[in-house]
């Protein structure tokens, strides 16, 4: 049975680290930079542009299906961003077909829905997220708690809008995931080893 794991995560919850460690523990691929690199090659866009497109939605508040129905996609900047999403989805599907893997973000739970992925959502309380950002993020050093809190909320809001735009589902709604795990005050390394066993058991 194939082992495809998708991780959605709140900013500062340690979801990316958890994904990487989960892949290590399960001896399967962790795709992140490969996706960005391949995306640059296929679209010809520069790194910054591709990275921005990965988290920005072209038309606010309308799901993709609606936008297309009303012909709102007929604009070259919008078309470019939609095209980046489509290329990215293709790349994700090709990688998941090639080997067992963990993919963080990028609506991968939705893109790979026909491959029966184990869909994990990683979240934490705000205190833990502030602490983790301060520990891991070099930018956080110069920010007040209030500024950092605003940044956390703003990144999550973007993720939520991006996800809803492309999937028409609600980001973080537990119905869309198999396991939701609260990392508040937990050690990510340890938790990822435990989750690896759970995922192995579910998939065996």
User: What residues make contact with its own copies under the rule CB under 8 A?
Assistant: 121, 123, 125, 172, 174-175, 177-182, 186, 190-191, 193-195, 197-198, 201-202
Angle among Cα 145, 173, 166 to the nearest 5 degrees reads: 95
Looking at the Cβ atoms of 5 and 57, the one nearer to its own copies is: 5
Q: How far apart are CA 120 and CA 202, in angstroms?
A: 13
CB of 8 to its own copies, least distance (A): 12
Looking at the Cβ atoms of 30 and 121, the one nearer to its own copies is: 121
Looking at the Cβ atoms of 91 and 108, the one nearer to its own copies is: 108
Q: What is the DSSP string of 19-78?
A: HHHHHHHHT-EEESHHHHHHHHHHH---HHHHHHHTT--SSTTS-HHHHHHTTTT-SHHH
Looking at the Cβ atoms of 78 and 193, the one nearer to its own copies is: 193
CB of 124 to its own copies, least distance (A): 9
CB of 117 to its own copies, least distance (A): 13
CB of 180 to its own copies, least distance (A): 4
């Amino acid at each position: 049975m194939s082992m495809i794991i998708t991780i959605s995560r709140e900013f500062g919850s340690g979801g990316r680290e958890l994904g990487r460690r989960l892949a290590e523990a399960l001896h399967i691929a962790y795709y992140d930079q490969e996706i960005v690199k391949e995306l640059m090659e296929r679209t010809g866009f520069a790194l910054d542009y591709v990275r921005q497109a990965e988290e920005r939605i072209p038309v606010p508040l309308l799901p993709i299906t609606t936008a297309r129905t009303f012909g709102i996609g007929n604009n070259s900047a919008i078309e470019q961003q939609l095209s980046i999403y489509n290329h990215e989805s293709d790349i994700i599907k090709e990688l998941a077909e090639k080997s067992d893997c963990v993919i963080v973000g990028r609506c991968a739970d939705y893109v790979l829905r026909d491959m029966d992925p184990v869909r994990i959502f990683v979240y934490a309380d705000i205190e833990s997220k502030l602490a983790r950002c301060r520990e891991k993020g070099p930018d956080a050093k110069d920010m007040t708690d209030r500024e950092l809190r605003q940044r956390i909320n703003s990144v999550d809001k973007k993720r939520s809008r991006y996800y809803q735009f492309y999937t028409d589902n609600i980001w973080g709604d537990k119905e869309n995931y198999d396991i939701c795990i609260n990392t508040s005050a937990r050690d990510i390394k340890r938790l990822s080893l435990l989750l690896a066993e759970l995922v192995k058991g579910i998939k065996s």
